[in-house]
Structure formats: C-alpha cells, structure tokens
Copies of this chain bind each other. A is one copy, B any other.
Amino acid sequence: MKIKYDLIKKDGNARLGKLHTNHGTFDTPMFMPVGTLANVKTLVPEELKEMNSGIILANTYHLWLRPGEDIVAKAGGLHKFMNYDGPILTDSGGFQVFSLAKNKKKDITEDGVHFKSHIDGQKLFLTPEKSIEIQNKLDSDIAMSFDECPPASASYDYLKKSLERTLRWAKRGKDAFNNPNQSLFGIVQGGPIEDLRKYSAEETVKMDFDGYSIGGVANDGESKDDMYKAIDYSVPYLPEDKPRYLMGVGEPIDILEGVERGVDMFDCVLPTRIARHGNVFTGEGRMNLKNAKFKEDFTPIEDTCDCYTCKHYTKAYLRHLIVAGEQLAGRLLSIHNIRFLIKETEEIREAIKEDRFKEYKEEFISKYKE
C-alpha cells in the first residue's frame, strides 16, 4: 500500500496534516531523526517512541556499503533488521555521493555517477535504477529518487543542465521502481533560481510521485536566503494533496521557516552530531555543556523539557560525563536534542490548529539566539 496524506488545516501556508504509512500514521509537520546506518546513533527504538518520534530516516548509500542491501533484505527488510516497526524513509544516496566525495574525483555521466567509497576507496557506480533497487530491497516506507545535488553557487547553466538530468533520472528510477509497499518521492532541484525551481517542480509533478522533496538547500554553503528562495520558488507548483519534505534541514528556526512556506517534513543529523560534541538545544539557543559554569549546576538542561534526560539528570552530571569522555553523554544529549525538535513540531502543529502559527514562530525566534 502507498502512503496517504491528509491535509487537515492550513494557517497561512503552514500545513497541519497526517501521513498514513504501512507502519503507522504520524502528524505533520514532523522532524525525522536520522538513523544513518540503521540506528539513530546511540539510541534504541523504544527511546525514539518515548520522545514521540513519528518517522525516522536511513541512508541508502551507507547501507549499500554496510551491511549491503541484500543482507537487509534477507533479514526481512530494514524494519525487521533494525527492530523498528514505525515508518522509515530512505534517501537516494545522491546527497552522500556528492557530499562524501566532495573533495574526491567523481564522474557524473548520463548513466549515473562513478565515484570512490569513503571507507576504502573502492570504485563504485550508482545509477537511478541501482538506487531504487537498493531502496526497494531495504523496503523503507518512503524512497527518494536519485538526484544530483549541485551547490546553490553553481552557474545557471550548470544548475539547468543538472536538473534536466535529475528529471531524466527521476523518470528512470520511477520506471525501475518495483515495491508495491513502498512510496516514491520526486525531488525538486534548481538552486535558488526562480524559473529553474518552477520548471523542476512542474516537470517532477507531471511524473506523479507519492510526495515531493525540496533538495539542494543543505549541500555546501547554501545561505538561509538560498534556502528560503528554493522553498518559495518550488512550493507553489507542488500539489496540496501530497507531502513535502525539505531535505537535510533541521535547525530549530529553519524548521519554522520551512513550515511557514508549506513544508511538512524535515530531517537533520544536527541533534545527534552536536550531542556528541557536548552541545544541546534550548529555547534560548544552543548551549555547550562543557562550559565550566555548569560544574555545579544541579538543574536539568531545561526545566520545562519533558525528555528522559531532563527528567533524570543535571547539567553538572552531564558535564561530568562529557568531560570524562563517557559515551553515555552522547546518548543522553541526543535524547534531549531530538526531543527538542520533535516537541517544536508538536507545538507548531498545536499553533497551526489554533491559527496562531505566525505568533508562535515570532515568539520562538525572539527567544532563540542562533
């Protein structure tokens, strides 16, 4: 069965919705924690459920390399392999090919991309068909089309040439797609250029995907302005009855900006990555718990937070774990950071329901220092 999106209510362009999948329904807007290698780093599924996580993301490129899609398929698919019975979205591998191979030689041909493994330098070749075949085997609920991810700073001509190829790749991937229990999203590219985004969105929508992603906003040095343009120039051409996913975006304020422009789904490695470096989100901005001022601070990260970490541990204890290099620190901070973003989307949904999204956003931004 394919996913089904119900648009429940709008407040300006902000959308309150529900996405039904074969592994459960979740509300949108929603932040998706990233489980790169078939686990959200340091965490187990029960913890994700406790923080009200609706859907997680896994990375096709990484799972292709380790353990390999055939092993995941033999396990009965990604849900069984990783013991996660909720919805899972997989990316196409395109972003990793371009970002991990950033400083390495890669060869983009009409057929696909030749590049080298970031692990052992082994020669690899990823095509739209191969990306879809891997994702079909992983058996995620939602798969992504294989796309090229040029930086927003690329020339108009390059962006145009690239998005046209991405459109052909989208068609090839759709034709190769072969998993009745999986849904497939098309990806809109075109950098921060209005006519390119319009063209990419319209042509992608013509292919009739189950949902649409906005790509090319979190590649390499894109400005906030590039991101806003990419969304503003894409969304008007996307159908109201399909979900919209802004790829790789998850800063607290970026989520608000995305929702305001009509986006439903977000993902980002930020909450787990900054956790491993001792940083946490708070309503007033990011906080570095390594700071000596927390040595004897026997209060939680946030008094108002309902996460497991804030209910049980003090900043002094968390700081001690960080300073001593204990892995438990990364786990406890990841719980807080992911819950922070999920709670933000819960509050966003509540605000949309009550026609006060704009006020919520302004109040959030007035307190949060980036």
Could you list which residues of chain A lie within 8 angstroms of chain B, going by C-beta atoms?
37-39, 41-44, 62, 66-67, 71, 74-76, 81-83, 295-296, 298, 312-314, 316-317, 319-321, 323-324, 326-328, 330-332
Beta-carbon contact of A83 and B328 below 8 Å = no
Beta-carbon contact of A328 and B43 below 8 Å = yes
Q: List 6 A–B pairs whose Cβ atoms lie within 8 Å, in order of A's numbering.
A: A37-B320, A38-B317, A67-B316, A67-B319, A81-B314, A81-B317
Beta-carbon contact of A39 and B326 below 8 Å = yes
- Bound CA span A265–B261, Å: 62
The 6 closest A-B pairs by CB, nearest first: A67-B320, A83-B312, A37-B324, A39-B328, A66-B324, A42-B327
Given A42-B331, A295-B67, A331-B42, also A75-B316 (CB < 8 A): yes
Beta-carbon contact of B44 and A328 below 8 Å = yes
- Bound CA span A81–B319, Å: 12
Closest to A328 in B: B39
CB distance from A95 to the nearest CB of B (A): 19
Beta-carbon contact of A66 and B323 below 8 Å = yes
Query: Which listed residue (B42, B62, B71, B326) contacts A328, Cβ 8 A?
Result: B42
- Bound CA span A296–B81, Å: 11
CB distance from A130 to the nearest CB of B (A): 20
Chain B residues within an 8 Å CB radius of A321: 37-39
Closest to A81 in B: B317
Chain B residues within an 8 Å CB radius of A324: 37, 62, 66-67
Query: Which listed residue (B71, B298, B328) contacts A74, Cβ 8 A?
Result: B298
Beta-carbon contact of A83 and B313 below 8 Å = yes
Chain B residues within an 8 Å CB radius of A317: 38, 75, 81-83
Beta-carbon contact of A326 and B75 below 8 Å = no
Closest to A62 in B: B324
Which of A74, A83, A320, A327 lies at the interface centre, i.e. has the most chain B CB atoms within 10 A of its CB? Answer: A320
CB distance from A39 to the nearest CB of B (A): 5
- Bound CA span A287–B231, Å: 52
Closest to A76 in B: B298
Which of A42, A44, A82, A313 lies at the interface centre, i.e. has the most chain B CB atoms within 10 A of its CB? Answer: A44
Closest to A42 in B: B327
CB distance from A311 to the nearest CB of B (A): 9
Chain B residues within an 8 Å CB radius of A314: 75, 81
Contacts A37-B326, A42-B327, A83-B317 given; 18 further ones with Cβ under 8 A?
A38-B320, A39-B328, A42-B42, A42-B328, A66-B323, A66-B324, A67-B319, A67-B320, A71-B296, A71-B316, A74-B298, A75-B314, A81-B316, A81-B317, A83-B312, A83-B313, A327-B330, A331-B331
Closest to A119 in B: B324
- Bound CA span A75–B323, Å: 17
- Bound CA span A326–B327, Å: 11
Query: Which listed residue (B37, B76, B328) contacts A41, Cβ 8 A?
Result: B328
- Bound CA span A312–B326, Å: 25
Beta-carbon contact of A296 and B43 below 8 Å = no
CB distance from A225 to the nearest CB of B (A): 36
